[in-house]
Amino acid sequence: MKLSLRRDASNCARVVILITSFFLLSACGDSHEDSSPQAVARAACSALTNTAVPAASIGLPTTGAKVVSATFFTADTAGNADGEYCKVLGVISPVDPSALNINFEVNLPSTWNGKALQLGGAASDGVLVTGLGIYPGATATAATPVAQGYVTFGSDSGHQGTSDKSFISNQESFHNFGGDQIKKTHDSALALAQIRYGKKSQYTYFIGGSQGGHEAFIAVQRYPQDYDGAVAMYPTYNSALLQLASNAFAKTIYGNAGAGWLDPNKIALLQNAVYNTCDGLDGVKDGIISNVAACQAEFTIQTVQQTLRCPGGTDAGDTCLSDTQIAAVNTLDSPFKLDFPLADGQQTFPHWSILEGAKFLTGFGASRTPSHPPAATDAFQYLISDPSVRYYFTNNPNIDSINGFNPDDYQPQIVAVSTVLETTNPDISAFKARGGKLILLHGTADEAVSPYNTINYYNQMISTLGQASLDQFVRFYIVPGFGHGSGIFNAQWDPLTVIDSWVTQGNTPGTLTASDGNKGATRSRPLCVYPAWPKYNGSGDINSVSSFSCATS
């Protein structure tokens, strides 16, 4: 091992020497040769072409990584918002020759601030995370991370395509998706950054939403020594249980020939009733339900039965809900429980926020009859869970996930899959010990992942580490009206600035300010540290953050 590490260090040094020698020879050459900073940066970028990162430089088994291309972009390149930088595309090769490569991108700004940012993916990954442009949570006017001087990087997680999950048949590819790719990409990208700049990154962060939020948990839980800070937004952290709960959602609305399905008019009827009751409970009717606890007390399934039930309980059109449809709403408003625990002991998924502000206006799909395989017009929970049932849980691409799948029949396979996918360990004390900081954020109106999923994880961290300890390095924000990366209130708050300020300057975040990123919106709200929520002060502009205070009652 010592010999291989020495050889690796020698290889890296040789590349740096070659790059440096190039510049020294250029300086001794024709006096008319361009030695401007831009020319130097362009040459350094070009020198990275075909650079190899030895397997010994990567902390998990691979056969090494290699640069496929290195392209230099000037700040005035058309459509470029990232300033002057070098775009490096590379591949990380597997140990198993039948496994898939991990494709990755690392962007190297000409003027580096000494910091690096890894960005997470979305859904089932399968699309290259470029690290360019605006990142999740950023305001539209914020400078991009690369333009700010950050090295940024991401990958496709080791497979291509968002809906085909057949890559699970190869164990190395599946483990890459399950989290190994985070470490492999991190090590490969930062090795190239060290070659380019001749020094290591001083601070490294991870930011992601949805699957990327799940991957932020992977970074913090499995590789705490690699990261100084992480931001996990609306994370799908307990993936296997989420997929099974989503399958149960799909069965609820599509089973029994779609008797529990609600068309868009019926969903609007239900949501209008919820908002008419709950919108003003935070002090102002502004289209956002902020006092969720009060809403839970005021609008229950009994309220639905008393105010929206069709006469006799049979379906009488879009002005009421049948007994079967009310039963479906009740099922979605209740926790889903497996008959057996997953590998990490998780067994129960919390209720969906269908009676608390998550509108589900298109979440039930366009028809009571789903497509096989799913189509874009089907219910979202069916769209994401059906491929998981077919490939993850049953290894049967032809199974009917609505009528032909019972988790009890596939317990060993489901538990095995959860071993790879789950990131539910609440003990992140190793991350704290190295000085790491973590920000969690979830919206109350999330239709894709229940906000109570993240609340449950936060409460487990409190039970494990204690509130006082947790407060030293974790902040949790629940955002009223915010959904799964969008929503009635599309929260934008520049998380990179917040996490960097906390890590590098010790500025512990408290109440923050978020602007509404929806087109034409001009309003702002406080981001309140959980369990507080924005309460209207009773006077002032309802679109101004100054008119709201964080409250717990």
Active-site annotation, residues = 210, 446, 484
Q: Using alpha carbons, select from 232, 217, 238, 236 the residue that is nearest to residue 137.
A: 232
Integer CA distances (angstroms), 253 to 333, 358, 367, 370, 411, in order: 13, 17, 10, 10, 24
CA distance 434 to 412: 37
CA distance 117 to 186: 9
What kind and span of H or E run contains 117? strand 115-119
- Sort strands 65-73 and 102-109 into parallel, antiparallel or unpaired: unpaired
Half-sphere exposure (CA, 13 Å, Cβ side) for 523? 19
Concatenating the DSSP letter of every residue in 170-224 gives: SHHHHHIIIIIHHHHHHHHHHHHHHHHHSS--SEEEEEEETHHHHHHHHHHHH-G
- The burial class, CB within 10 Å (0-12 / 13-18 / 19+), for 538 is exposed
Looking at the DSSP assignment, which residues form a beta bridge with residue 87? 71, 107
What kind and span of H or E run contains 20? helix 2-28
Residues 499 and 477 sit within 8 Å (Cβ to Cβ):
no
The tokens for 363 are 């979440």
Packing angle between helix 2-28 and helix 37-47, nearest 10 degrees? 140
Looking at the DSSP assignment, which residues form a beta bridge with residue 71? 87
- The burial class, CB within 10 Å (0-12 / 13-18 / 19+), for 301 is middle
- Residue labelled with tokens 């809403």: 295
Residue type, 324: T
As a whole number of Å, the CA-based R_g of the chain is 25
CA distance 223 to 226: 6
